[in-house]
Amino acid sequence: MSPAGAASGLGISVRAKRFAAVGAAPPKLVIKDLQLQVPDSGLVALFGPSGCGKTTLLNLIAGLDREFEGRIDLPADWRIGYVFQEPRLLPWLTVEDNLRLVLPDPDDAPGKIAEWLAAMELVDIGKVYPNRISLGMARRVALARAFIIDPDLLLMDEPFVSLDEPTAQRLRTLLLATLQAHPTTVLFVTHNLREAIMLADRLVLLSGPPSHVQQEIAVDLTAAERADEAAIERFRAEVLSQALPEGPLR
Amino acid sequence: MAVERPAVSRPGELAEAAPPEVAPIALSARLRPALVPVLSLAILVLVWQLAALIAGAPTRLPTPGAVLLRAYAELQSGELAWHLGATLLRVAASFVLAMTIGTVIGFAMGRLPLLDRFAHPWLVFLLNIPALVIIVLAYIWIGLGESALIFAVALNKIPNVVVTVREGARALDRSLLEMAASFRLGRRKTLAFVVLPQLYPYLAAAGRSGLALIWKIVLVTELLGRSSGVGFKIGTYFSLFDVTSILAYSLAFVVVIQIIEWTVLLPLERHVTRWRR
Ligand SMILES: Nc1ncnc2c1ncn2[C@@H]1O[C@H](COP(=O)(O)OP(=O)(O)OP(=O)(O)O)[C@@H](O)[C@H]1O
Ligand SMILES: [Mg+2]
């Protein structure tokens, strides 16, 4: 996809993304001059005010929306795991079958499904239809669906909302452990600064609309510090003092 | 993320698309509700019996018992099974043909606005041609044979299937299609697990109203140009003014169609909607 010798990883360069006028709604410029490089195995947290275009950006990266000016460079053979802002499970398939559906090879399905249901604390709902489970459970199934394909690129749109804090924290720890075992490039949207500091190696603050990168902040914490609440709290204060005015954190 | 299609109403749009039926209620609560239709049928038979007795004209209005005896006699002679079988085969062939072609065209029209705009006038035209005209023309152009019959019957039903399935194809949930695309499910899996399940309610609606329409048209078509089938027999007995036999054949056919509905269509529908709350 990218010209020979270009850096690996994910390259985002969106000059403009517009939504056409529909009915009485005027056309809308949602993203303008947004540049972002995510290196292989990089873990980037995207911050931005509601409605600034974060979901739109993830859809461009996932190739779901090709009507924009600019380019998205990523290796053509990358598998993308996308955790949408809503779970988007197929209601006519059981939880297990929702996971089985995305696996390219049915032979390794049973083991993997069992493994991920256990990891997401969902063992007893494998045979249940999605409209009979809670929203938090459905979110965890959606997370399992993205992880189970061993993605090269993981896109997550506010993945840990509507979960109780202890469960969310266990899942964050699980995410870190999984990424240790299978290095993956990750781009995730969050409104939770502590979560971003715990997980990401870089915070990207978007402002807008139309959205563009306002500021990038590197998170250079060790694994031990990421597990330590006090260290995260210290770093959070530092981030808040660095953050430019009129950005998403101020 | 799902974006609503603007509901553009177009002139000449026929409000044909039956709203897809929600999960069937029949047989869900078995015991007492099941007795109500039995009771209602019993009353119907009783009214018929009384009317026949009061009229006192057994050739014009035979009693239920006489009709049943005639049906039994026809069954014994093998006549009933032969003609019923011929009609059922024609119903099945036209039904499959109409559903297949109607689904493909309806789906394409629902997904491709340009094609929709192009083919819509044809659709309106077909929807408004009387069944009889299609039947007569098919017999004239194709000849008095099975293929003309099946073609004519299917052509009568196809526009309804198209309209219903088109509605379903327009209503496909975009957020689920995006999910399928981002996980690279491929055509086969997307069709089987993402698209078709969303079309089932529309297909079921088209199928059930289709069966009812098709068997009626098949009878007329047989009457006009075939020498076998329930329609042909009814035509013959009409010329003899044999009401008992006409009723015997009609009843036998209605019973068979109902049995198909109960043993095939309803269970199938329940199976594909079992995930609903
Ligand atoms: N399909 C669409 N057609 C027209 N406008 C759209 C469409 N999708 C999104 N928008 C507009 O684009 C802007 C960005 O939407 P987006 O969903 O990307 O925001 P977001 O940053 O993800 O917000 P949130 O944090 O609330 O999820 C919004 O103003 C929205 O109205
Ligand atoms: Mg969003």
**pLDDT tops 60 at residue B24:** no
CB A193 within 8 A of CB A226: no
Asked if residue A157 and residue A63 are part of one domain, the reply reads yes
Asked if residue A47 and residue A6 are part of one domain, the reply reads yes
**CA–CA dist B244, B240 (Å, integer):** 11
Query: Taking the CA atoms of chain A, what radius of gyration do you get in angstroms?
Result: 18
pLDDT at B29: 54
Domain boundary among A130, A150, A170: A150
Domain that holds residue A120: 89-150
**pLDDT tops 60 at residue B86:** yes
Asked if residue A31 and residue A74 are part of one domain, the reply reads yes
Spatial CA neighbour of A88 closest among A123, A127, A51, A138: A138
CB A30 within 8 A of CB A210: yes
| Cβ–Cβ below 8 Å for A91 and B275 | yes
**HSE-up (13 A, CA, CB side) for residue B263:** 6
CB A27 within 8 A of CB A19: yes
**pLDDT tops 60 at residue B266:** yes
Specify the DSSP class assigned to residue A106: G
Identify the burial level of B77 via C-beta atoms within 10 angstroms of its C-beta, where 0-12 means exposed, 13-18 middle and 19 or more buried: exposed
State the pTM of this model.
0.81
Mutate to test the interface with A, among B1, B9, B182, B203 (most CBs of A within 10 A): B182
| Minimum distance, in Å, between the CA of residue A106 and any CA atom of chain B | 13
**CA–CA dist A99, A113 (Å, integer):** 7
**pLDDT tops 50 at residue A2:** no
Architecture of domain B68-276: Orthogonal Bundle (1.10)
**CA–CA dist B230, B83 (Å, integer):** 5
Asked if residue A174 and residue A93 are part of one domain, the reply reads no
Q: What is the mean pLDDT of chain A?
A: 89
Asked if residue A224 and residue A181 are part of one domain, the reply reads yes
Asked if residue A177 and residue A119 are part of one domain, the reply reads no
**pLDDT tops 60 at residue B271:** yes
Q: Chain A residues contacting B, CB < 8 Å?
A: 22-23, 55, 59, 62-64, 79-82, 84-86, 88, 90-93, 101-102, 129, 131-132, 145, 149
Q: What is the ipTM of this complex?
A: 0.89
A19 lines ligand 1 (CB under 6 A): yes
| Cross-strand bridge partners of residue A28 | A19
Asked if residue A250 and residue A202 are part of one domain, the reply reads yes
Spatial CB neighbours of A101, under 8 Å, sequence gap ≥ 6: A90, A93, B183, B185, B189, B193
Q: Does residue A166 lie in a domain region?
A: yes
- Tell me, in angstroms, the distance from the centre of ligand 2 to residue B178's CA: 15
In terms of CA atoms, which chain B residue is nearest residue A65?
Answer: B178
Neighbours of B158 (CB within 10 A): 24
Length of chain B: 277
| Minimum distance, in Å, between the CA of residue B200 and any CA atom of chain A | 11
CB A30 within 8 A of CB A19: yes
| Cross-strand bridge partners of residue A189 | A46, A157
pLDDT at A76: 86
Does residue A102 come out as left (phi exceeding 0), alpha (psi in the -120 to 50 range) or beta? alpha
**CA–CA dist B108, B98 (Å, integer):** 15
Q: What is the pLDDT of residues A119-138, one digit of tens each?
A: 888 989 999 999 999 998 99
Tally the domains of chain A: 2
Q: What is the pLDDT of residues B107-139, one digit of tens each?
A: 999 999 999 999 999 999 999 999 999 999 999
Q: Which of B6, B175, B184 is opposite residue A23, by nearest beta carbon?
A: B6
**CA–CA dist B94, B217 (Å, integer):** 10
A56 lines ligand 1 (CB under 6 A): yes
The most distant pair of C-alpha atoms in chain A lies apart, rounded to whole Å, by 53
**CA–CA dist A64, B103 (Å, integer):** 27
| Cβ–Cβ below 8 Å for B275 and A82 | no
pLDDT at B14: 43
Asked if residue A68 and residue A173 are part of one domain, the reply reads yes
**DSSP-derived 3-state class of residue B76:** helix
CB A249 within 8 A of CB A205: yes
Helix (H) or strand (E) holding B61: none
Mutate to test the pocket of ligand 1, among A30, A31, A157 (most ligand atoms within 8 A of CB): A30
Distance linking the first and last C-alpha atoms of chain A: 38
Q: What are the structural domain ranges in chain B?
A: 68-276
- Tell me, in angstroms, the distance from the centre of ligand 2 to residue B208's CA: 42
**pLDDT tops 90 at residue B6:** no
Asked if residue A104 and residue A66 are part of one domain, the reply reads no
Looking at residues B62-67, what average pLDDT do you find? 92
Q: Does residue A83 lie in a domain region?
A: no
Spatial CA neighbour of A87 closest among A22, A135, A154: A135
Domain boundary among A127, A150, A173: A150
- Tell me, in angstroms, the distance from the centre of ligand 1 to residue A57's CA: 9
CATH number for position A41:
3.40.50.300
- Model confidence at A93, pLDDT cuts 50, 70, 90, reads very high
Asked if residue A164 and residue A109 are part of one domain, the reply reads no
Neighbours of A75 (CB within 10 A): 14
| Minimum distance, in Å, between the CA of residue A182 and any CA atom of chain B | 19
Asked if residue A66 and residue A187 are part of one domain, the reply reads yes
**CA–CA dist A42, A10 (Å, integer):** 9
The single residue listed with the structure tokens 């959205």 is: A211
Burial B35-54 (b: 16+ CB within 10 A, else e): eeeeeeeeeeeeebeeebee
Residues of B in contact with A82 (CB under 8 A): 179, 182-183
A58 lines ligand 1 (CB under 6 A): no
Spatial CB neighbours of A20, under 8 Å, sequence gap ≥ 6: A27
Spatial CA neighbour of A136 closest among A110, A103, A158, A105: A158
Counted across chains A and B, CB pairs separated by less than 8 A come out at 56
CB B129 within 8 A of CB B112: no
**DSSP-derived 3-state class of residue A30:** strand
Q: What is the pLDDT of residues B196-205, one digit of tens each?
A: 999 998 998 8
| Cβ–Cβ below 8 Å for B1 and A86 | yes
**pLDDT tops 80 at residue A250:** no
Q: Does residue A84 lie in a domain region?
A: no
**CA–CA dist B242, B225 (Å, integer):** 20
Q: Does residue A235 lie in a domain region?
A: yes
Asked if residue A128 and residue A115 are part of one domain, the reply reads yes
CB B185 within 8 A of CB A101: yes
Domain boundary among A114, A134, A150: A150
